[in-house]
Amino acid sequence: MGEEQQKPAGDDGVPQAMIDLRAELRETHVAEVLDTLDRELVGLAPVKQRIRQICALLIVDRVRRRLGLISEPPTLHMSFTGNAGTGKTTVALRMAEILHKLGYIRKGHLVSVTRDDLVGQYIGHTAPKTKEILKKAMGGVLFIDEAYYLYRQENERDYGQEAIEILLQVMENQREDLVVILAGYASRMDQFFRSNPGFRSRIAHHIDFPDYSDGELMAIAESMLAAQHYKFSLDGAEAFAAYIAERRLQPLFSNARSIRNALDRARLRHASRYFEQDGPVRLEDLMTIDAADILTSRVFNAENSN
């Protein structure tokens, strides 16, 4: 209907405006955020593609609104599913930035919470707690990590239900004030959505974060080291590649987070190795993580003992 009424503007002899979407993209500086997303985050191709799609939709929507075409404010609530350490929080931070630059949220801050921050400990404690968090998140993005803990199906008197109800209400009524991103493991999130159909219908974008491949983890490790002015020696790189392959098979593997922890421990061993050795140390040595720092890891020992 709205489109029909707006179109005559072109028929009055005013030439139909040509809209340069690229210019729009440049103007909002979203392209820069997308580029940093591409550059800084290794892998995650489906996620990046999905974010580009959302961006395209939002930019077109923005232009349409400016031209007076009626379009409902889009639902922007999202769910990020994927294993630990696949970059959900990082992407959520970028998402907040993108939405802010496109003008869909007013402030662009990210409030990251878990069940503890939303659910109270006694009757009547939950509602004020949840509201407090919601007030803080207004104008930005509320990121609920491991959202499935909100709902405990084994306990029907669990206070989580109350938090869910308040959340749903705000997600529906204040869509222009707040974007909610739920995050967690895929299988448990599925179950959560099944038992809370209200959430599923209010969330427009379900984004799945794939696990990283070994090559991608290696690239992540290198960029993490580079950020701290370290680098692998040739042997060190080889050893770390072996480490990744080995670590993946062990329990509690959490992608990039495991890599970060492994690097922290490698730095620890690197430091103590040079500390115990007599004589001066070259600058080059202080920057280089060698095979010795990695091969002493417990991960390899476990393999030997088996």
Partner 1 sequence: MRVTQGCFSFLPDLTDDQIRSQVQYCIDKGWAINLEYTDDPHPRNTYWEMWDLPMFDIKDPAGVMLELAACRKAHAGRYYVRLSAFDASPGWESVRISFIVNRPAKEPGFRLVRSEGPGRRQIYSLQSYAVDRPESERY
Which one among 17, 128, 155, 228 touches partner 1, defined by CB under 8 A? 128
Which region, judged by CB under 8 A, interacts with partner 1, from 9-17, 79-87, 128-136, 243-251?
128-136
How would you class 106 by CB atoms within 10 Å of its CB: exposed for 0-12, middle for 13-18, buried for 19 or more? middle
Which one among 74, 139, 198, 210 touches partner 1, defined by CB under 8 A? 139
Q: Does residue 109 touch partner 1 according to CB under 8 A?
A: yes
- Per DSSP, the three-state class of 182 is strand
- CB nearer to partner 1: pick between 51 and 134: 134
Whether 30 contacts 59, CB under 8 Å: yes
Q: Does residue 188 touch partner 1 according to CB under 8 A?
A: no
- CB nearer to partner 1: pick between 26 and 135: 135
Closest distance to partner 1 from the beta carbon of 111 (Å)? 9
How far apart are alpha carbons 43 and 220 in whole angstroms? Answer: 9
Q: Supply the DSSP symbol for 306.
A: -
Q: Does residue 125 touch partner 1 according to CB under 8 A?
A: no
Which region, judged by CB under 8 A, interacts with partner 1, from 29-37, 117-125, 138-146, 287-295?
138-146
Q: Does residue 106 touch partner 1 according to CB under 8 A?
A: yes
Whether 291 contacts 239, CB under 8 Å: yes
Whether 259 contacts 297, CB under 8 Å: no
- Per DSSP, the three-state class of 247 is helix
Q: Does residue 201 touch partner 1 according to CB under 8 A?
A: no
Which residues form the interface with partner 1 (CB under 8 A)?
A: 106-107, 109, 128, 131, 134-136, 138-140, 174, 177-178
